[in-house]
Amino acid sequence: MASQEIEALASALARLPGLGPRSARRAVLWLIKRRESALPQLLAALDTVRQNLVECRTCGNVDTTDPCGICADPRRDARALCVVEDVADLWALDRARLFTGRYHVLGGRLSALEGVRPEDLTIARLLERVQAGGIDEVVLAMNATLEGQTTAHYIAERLEDLPVRVTQLAHGLPVGGELDYMDEGTLAQALRARRPV
């Protein structure tokens, strides 16, 4: 039986997404073995995060400054706004550096069953941003899940009367995908969204 201290650390780590009790104990053991080398680095990194990271009050991104690096970057196109569910989605999109505009993080997706309502997301703040003017296009980059698409529909509906172009990420064939491996739902969607070449 491990000591109370070790159990406490393991149960704290077990709560991390994707870890669970078994992997947490393995991680604890790894850290104990390297408590002189790796542990101080980890502690320092964790402390920096705790002290310096803030949520951007404009877009909801997490950064060391508020407004965040993206919102403050003058080279970014202020007229284009990309709406995502979570910070992880923002990072995924920005890793590719394909989108040159700014972002808006909703902080989740609408779900009646899980009790996530419009007021629990940053939708009101999004409307304020658009109403303030200077934005030509809002790109809805929600997940292709039922909840994600419901959220996208909802936001499109709320933006309807505002002078802004609302677009949505395309759904269909993934790049490099082979037709005969696609499920029918994906194929049907790809066919619906076909376009002239």
Partner 1 sequence: MPLTRLTLRDFRNHAATRLDGLAMFNVLVGENGAGKTNVLEALSLLAPGRGLRRAQPAEMAARHGDGSFAVAVEMEHGEVVLGTHTQPAAPGRRLVRINGALGPAARLAEWLSLTWLTPAMDRLFAESAGNRRRFLDRLVLARLPGHAQTSARYENALRERNRLLADDREPDPAWLEALESQLAETGAAIAAARADLVADLGAVLETLPEQPFARPSLAYASDTPIDAEALRAALRQGRRRDRAAGRTLTGPHRDDLAVRLAAKDAPAADCSTGEQKAMLIAIVLAHAQLTAGPRPRLLLLDEIAAHLDPLRRAALYERLAASGAQVWMTGTEPAPFAEIAGEAALWHVHDGVVTR
List interacting residues with partner 1 (CB under 8 A). Answer: 110-113, 117-118, 146-147, 149-154, 157-158, 183-185, 188
* Of residues 125 and 153, the one with the C-beta less far from partner 1: 153
* Of residues 36 and 180, the one with the C-beta less far from partner 1: 180
Exposure b/e, 35-48, CB count within 10 A at least 16 = b: eeeeeeeeeeeeee
* Of residues 143 and 149, the one with the C-beta less far from partner 1: 149
Name the maximum alpha-carbon separation found in the chain.
66
User: What are phi and psi for residue 74, nearest 5 degrees?
Assistant: -70, -20
Provide the minimum distance between the beta carbon of 109 and partner 1 in the complex, in angstroms, as a whole number.
11
14 and 24 Cβ atoms separated by less than 8 Å = yes
* Of residues 96 and 113, the one with the C-beta less far from partner 1: 113
Written as six digits, the tokens of 2 are 């491990």
Nearest to 143 by CA among 110, 173, 181: 110
Provide the minimum distance between the beta carbon of 42 and partner 1 in the complex, in angstroms, as a whole number.
31
Nearest-5° angle of CA 139, CA 73, CA 63? 85
User: What are phi and psi for residue 174, nearest 5 degrees?
Assistant: -75, 150
Provide the minimum distance between the beta carbon of 134 and partner 1 in the complex, in angstroms, as a whole number.
24
Say how many C-beta atoms besides its own lie within 10 A of residue 89's C-beta.
19
Provide the minimum distance between the beta carbon of 140 and partner 1 in the complex, in angstroms, as a whole number.
12
Tokens 């909802």 sit at which residue?
A: 154
Provide the minimum distance between the beta carbon of 183 and partner 1 in the complex, in angstroms, as a whole number.
6
3-class SS of residue 156:
helix
* Of residues 63 and 85, the one with the C-beta less far from partner 1: 85
Provide the minimum distance between the beta carbon of 76 and partner 1 in the complex, in angstroms, as a whole number.
29
- List Cβ neighbours of 165 (8 Å cut-off, separation of 6 or more): 136, 137, 138
* Of residues 2 and 188, the one with the C-beta less far from partner 1: 188
